[in-house]
């Protein structure tokens, strides 16, 4: 069962209208207006040299519970990671039991009309299960990507060989051609898998990374053993690889 809320204009509580499922939005004591923050990358990159700037430590994260800039909280969104061509990335982090999930709603302002969907949190891991995240940047600097052991033209980002076509034989070109993941879209570079007792079990849809796009609105469903709330966040301005200014609002969905 899904709930959809129509978002119109400020003030926000009046703008979030109940859907046919009779869901309502309750105000949060910690944030009853739109707030703002500037997330600054702590990584200083000069040519091929990368250093960590301790003087701005913590300014690259927003705690999704306290809504303060802090990186060691229970749930947080961080800025500053780089993956090949992608210099502007939002990453979600949480402690054991976190199921927090973020989706990109598209390009909107706070006064636009758009729909806020209910976001299904990531599945909870079962006892003994462990989730592994893999980032594939093979093919960087003109080098070939990793070929599949079965002759396929490269590997998926989770390390598994790409699937071979079953209706026709693999050509010699396919056997030698490699895939350049270094310049691939972010969602092709990052995948995850679930293992039990050290054995790879199955690919997983979980990914904590999203590309930061100027003017885009992101909806974050913050879920763990103690919290269940939403944070609506907009990427207002970006200085590539250095910082992003965000505005955000938090609320809960409650069934009547």
Position 200 scores a pLDDT of 63
Position 140 scores a pLDDT of 53
How confident is the prediction along the chain (256 residues), in pLDDT tens digits per residue? 444 444 433 334 434 433 333 344 444 433 457 899 999 998 887 777 888 888 877 789 999 998 988 887 789 999 988 888 888 999 998 887 889 999 999 999 998 888 888 899 998 888 888 888 888 777 755 455 554 333 333 444 434 444 433 334 444 444 444 567 777 788 777 888 888 876 767 888 888 899 999 999 999 999 988 889 999 999 999 999 899 999 999 887 765 5
Measure CA 24 to chain center: 26
Q: Answer whether 0.85 is exceeded by the pTM.
A: no
Position 159 scores a pLDDT of 41
Domain boundaries, the chain: 4-122+206-255, 134-204
Position 219 scores a pLDDT of 96
Cα separation, 135 vs 157, in Å, equals 6
Position 167 scores a pLDDT of 38
């Amino acid at each position: 069962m899904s709930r959809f809320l129509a978002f119109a204009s400020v003030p926000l509580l009046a703008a979030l209208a109940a859907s046919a499922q009779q869901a309502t939005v309750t105000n949060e004591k910690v944030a009853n207006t739109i707030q703002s923050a500037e997330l600054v990358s702590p990584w200083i990159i000069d040519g091929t040299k990368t250093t960590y700037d301790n003087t701005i430590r913590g300014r690259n994260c927003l705690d999704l519970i306290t809504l303060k800039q802090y990186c060691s909280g229970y749930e947080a969104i961080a800025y500053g990671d780089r993956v090949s061509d992608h210099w502007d990335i939002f990453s979600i982090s949480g402690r054991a039991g976190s199921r927090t999930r973020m989706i990109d709603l598209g390009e909107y302002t706070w006064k636009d009309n758009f729909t806020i969907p209910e976001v299904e949190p990531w599945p909870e891991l079962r006892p003994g299960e462990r989730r592994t995240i893999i980032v594939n940047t093979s093919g960087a600097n003109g080098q070939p990507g990793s070929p599949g052991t079965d002759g396929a033209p490269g590997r998926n980002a989770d390390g598994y060989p790409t699937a071979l076509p079953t209706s026709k034989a693999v050509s010699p070109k396919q056997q030698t051609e490699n895939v350049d993941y270094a310049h691939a879209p972010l969602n092709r570079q990052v995948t995850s898998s679930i293992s039990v007792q050290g054995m790879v079990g199955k690919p997983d849809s979980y990914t904590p990374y999203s590309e930061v796009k100027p003017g885009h609105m992101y909806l974050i469903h913050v879920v763990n053993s103690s919290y269940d709330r939403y944070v609506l966040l907009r990427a207002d301005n970006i200085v590539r690889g250095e910082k992003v200014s965000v505005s955000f609002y938090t609320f809960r969905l409650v069934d009547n």
